[in-house]
Structure 1
Amino acid sequence: MKLETKIVHISKPDELTGAISTPIYQTSSYAQEAPEVHKGFAYSRTANPTRKVVESAIAELEGGLAGFAFSSGLAATDCVLKLLNQGDEVIAVNDVYGGTYRILTTVYNRFGVTSKFIDTTDAKNVAEAVSSKTRFIWLETPTNPTLKISDIEEIAKIAKSVGALLIVDNTFLSPALQRPIELGADIVVHSGTKYLSGHGDVLSGFVVVNTPELAEELKYIQNTSGGVLSPFDSWLTLRGIQTLSLRLEKHSANAQKVAEYLANHPKVDKIYYPGLKSHKNHEIAAKQQKAFGGMVSFSLKEDTLEAATRVLTQTQIFLLAENLGDVRSLVSHPATMTHKSTPAEIRRETGIQDSLIRLSVGIENADDLIADLEQALNAETICCSKETLENQEK
């Protein structure tokens, strides 16, 4: 069965009633015939029928053995990081999502976990950085927000050579466009809030693993820590997944057109999109991805916060919001939004300039999106007051 068909039929008819749409089992507990004698469910933190369906669905789509659903992407990340012990080391891509950077450097560092942030676009850098203490190699590919591409297959070999686990955050592409486990990854992480659900109406996170041992460990941590996805949010995510392939095809096609437009705009300095042949790792992206995704970032020749703000406050179709992967086009400012918790000097080192703007290109008409960017780039003044902008950042 082709992936597009599998995605549409990923939610099977309910065994009890035959309902085509998975029922929302909105219950906290389940009646038992006797102590520990039940139908596979005792308490919804441990297992819930609706959540079980979405967990099985994401595992199947990613080509993994088991899936786990959480209340947010960071809850999923936290569960994976709880596999670590004092003295372990994490090697992560240097422009990793700000929330991941924050939890590694301000929470897990207190428990004796050390982190190195390196440029993983060259696998040689990873080979030089690993040590006997390295337990995790943590990739985003493409990265958030400068869309760096790392060779999953090559880095998986390096991880295995030192007994480390390779974790790939697949949020930006989803299994519709990239399947890291097939390329050698041990664990795949998602913010399901983004492309998996796709409609800006749910928070969710997912982890997929490919061995019984990891599945057993993560199941224990998930049940012990408790940050699980609710039945209703599980249902919303399932509904969103059914159109995943169709949406990603349109997101990618629109993003390619937008990127090509921006690449030739006189006010644009740098453009970040793996679908452009000028991208440093275009060939690696073409090798391991089905398409290039819906995310585009660019910086301005006038590299100031004021210049970025003029654009950010003038778009009409692109909504200024701290999210991505929505059917609607969104725009954000990494330096003051998604990566505000990353120190300024590290942001600049990794390409997150003050003028960097991140676009989540939606499924609208591409000509309308380009026209919206054109008028915003040509704006002469900031439309909103400083107070309004500061409130938006909060």
Structure 2
Amino acid sequence: MSNEGYLPLESGFATLAIHAHQSPDQWNSGAVITPIVTASTYKLQSADYSTGFQYGRWGNPTRNNLEGCLAALDKGKHALVFATGCAATWSALTILKSGDHILCAADIYGGTHHLVDMVAQEKGVDLEFFDVNNLSSFEKMFKPTTKMVWIESPTNPLCKVVDVRKVAAISHKQPGVLVVMDNTFLTSYFSKPLALGIDIVMYSMTKYMNGHSDVIMGALVLNDDDVHARLRDIQQHGGAVPGPFDCYLALRGLKTLALRMKQHMKNGIEVAQYLKKHSLVEEVLHPGFPDHPGHEVLKKQCSGYCGMLAFKIKGAGMQEVSKFLKALKMIVYAGSLGGCDSLAESPALLSHKYLSKEERLEIGITDNLIRLSVGIEEAEDITKDIDQALKAAFV
């Protein structure tokens, strides 16, 4: 849906998040906020012409506005939204056919790992995992049949920083390879993967982009017209589209994305610094630290960092980790991330439970690892809660 004559697309991020593809002039009412259009079908003016909408699965005014806004925020040409982040991931993977080869980063969200495994087994796709910190080895893994590379940066949950430009440049030496990047952690506020050479940007909109832990949704953003046409066909005929109310909530969430990400970043580094000095903490994983191996790369390809970090409880096993999580009072022991509320979880018990213990240890996911999504509460209240829970873990 066009915004011509209303908003220059070179406008600042916060301006785009509030106004892009959301002009009041679209609606007869002049509504400032995009209305929730619940219609499942639309009146056709003639046999070969409609108002631009035909059937709810094919398009919806509220959903179209969300897709237009997402494309603008990533400086992309196209965006597609899906009922879940996993549906977006699955749709992108559906491009692959039997015999195709995919290279997937080893350290990724456990649900993505599971989906990639499923696609490989069910469709006969040749799957290999690679170490994001060993790109010389990665370059040697390409085959004539390689069609896709899948990465996320920073990685979930170990916060490794991928040199996105290098991965894209290496991958595009072979024609026809699509590079997909999960940008859920950083969002389009801190990172513009398309400008770094990525072909398809994937989001779990459930997380920071919506930001209020009240929507489940996914998105893909890209520039290529042909790939977009294939994905649009998958979206429309696969039918995994979000409802108009969820699209409205996501649009509402985007309006405060810039403000929220600034606070997440501020709180995240304060909590990480506190943990680094704590006597019961063995290690803190946060790319904002100058001594983090990916810190310099992060500074070159991103404008900031979110509220995600991981830390290891000193001398802890599953028993102490479980006691720590149960002892939290304000911070919630729960899956997901990126909401206003601080959330904590054990990757070994929750987000990466699909992997065997051997697979987890090979990646670096130990039993004493905690993933923390730092919310936008007062940082001092977050650290106080962590401190009392750490002490309770060893009682």
Give me the TM-score of the superposition, normalised by structure 2. Answer: 0.94
Distance, in Å, in 2 between the alignment partners of 1:327 and 1:319 is: 11
Give the drift of 1:107: 3.6
User: Given the alignment, which residue of 19, 24, 38 partners 1:9?
Assistant: 19
CA drift at 1:8: 2.5
The residue that corresponds to 1:298 in the other structure is 311
Specify the alignment match of 1:385 in structure 2: none
In structure 1, C-alpha distance between the alignment counterparts of 2:193 and 2:134, rounded to whole Å: 17
1:34-73 superposed matches below 5 A: 34-73=46-85
Question: 3-state SS of the aligned residue for 2:122?
Answer: helix
* TM superposition shift of 1:229: 1.2
Deviation at 1:306, TM superposition (A): 1.0
Q: Which residue of 1 aligns with 2:4?
A: none
Deviation of 1:106 after TM superposition, in Å, equals 2.5
Stretch deviating more after TM superposition (295-304 or 19-28): 295-304
- State whether structure 2 residue 260 is matched by structure 1 residue 247: yes
Contact residue 16 and residue 72 of structure 2 kept, 8 A: no
The Cα offsets for residues 107-132 of structure 1, whole Å up to 9 and x where unpaired, read as 43221112111111332232122222
Deviations 1:15-70 (A, max 9, x none): 12211110000010001122232101000101111000001111111111100010
Of the three residues 22, 29, 41, the one matched with 2:34 is 22
Whether 1:139 aligns to 2:151 is yes
Q: CA RMSD in A?
A: 1.2
User: Contact (CA 8 Å) 2:101, 2:146: kept in 1 or not?
Assistant: yes
Q: Deviations over 1:295-344 (max 9, x none)?
A: 01011221411121121111112101111000011111111111101222
Matching of residues 217-256 of structure 1 within 5 Å: 217-256=230-269
Residue 387 (structure 1) aligns with: none
| Distance of 2:73 and 2:393 partners within structure 1 | 47
Contact 1:45 / 1:226 at 8 angstroms: preserved in 2?
yes
> Could you tell me which of 158, 167, 170 is aligned with 1:155?
167
Q: CA deviation at 1:277?
A: 1.3
Partner residue, 1:126:
138
Would you say the 8 A contact 2:111–2:351 is kept in 1?
Answer: yes
Displaced runs of 4 or more, over 4 A: none
Contact 1:14 1:21 in 2 (8 A): no
SS at match of 2:283: strand
1:378 aligns with 2:378: no
Give SS of 1:190's match. strand
Which range moves more in the overlay, 243-252 or 57-66?
Answer: 57-66
Aligned-partner Cα distance in 2 for 1:298–1:128 = 33
Pairing 1:31–2:26 present: no
Aligned match of 2:3: none
CA distance in 1, matches of 2:246, 2:393: 42
- The one-letter amino acid of 1:326's match is G
Is residue 343–residue 374 contact of structure 2 (8 Å, CA) maintained in 1?
A: yes
Would you say 1:337 and 2:347 are equivalent positions? Answer: no
Residue 358 in 1 paired to residue 368 in 2? no
- CA 3–380 in structure 1, closer or farther in 2 if over 3 Å, else same: closer
Distance 1:108 1:221 in 2: 18
Percent identity of equivalent pairs:
37
TM-score (norm 1): 0.94
Give the partner amino acid of 1:221. Answer: I
Aligned length: 382
SS at 1:328 equivalent: coil
Where do 1:301-316 residues align within 5 Å? 301-316=314-329
Maintained 8 Å contact 2:320/2:394:
no
**Structure 1 position 263 matched with structure 2 position 284:** no
Q: Is the deviation greater in 141-150 or in 301-310?
A: 301-310
Amino acid paired to 2:67: E
- Tell me how far 1:381 sits from its aligned partner: 5.7
Q: Distance in 1 between matches of 2:393 and 2:236?
A: 54
Residue of structure 1 in register with 2:300 after alignment: 287
SS at match of 1:175: helix
CA distance in 2, matches of 1:162, 1:49: 39
- Is there any run of 5+ residues in structure 2 with no aligned partner, and where? 1-10
Are residues 1:191 and 2:204 paired? yes
Aligned equivalents of 2:281, 2:146: Cα separation in 1: 39
Query: Does the aligned pair in 2 maintain the 1:14–1:23 contact within 8 Å?
Result: no
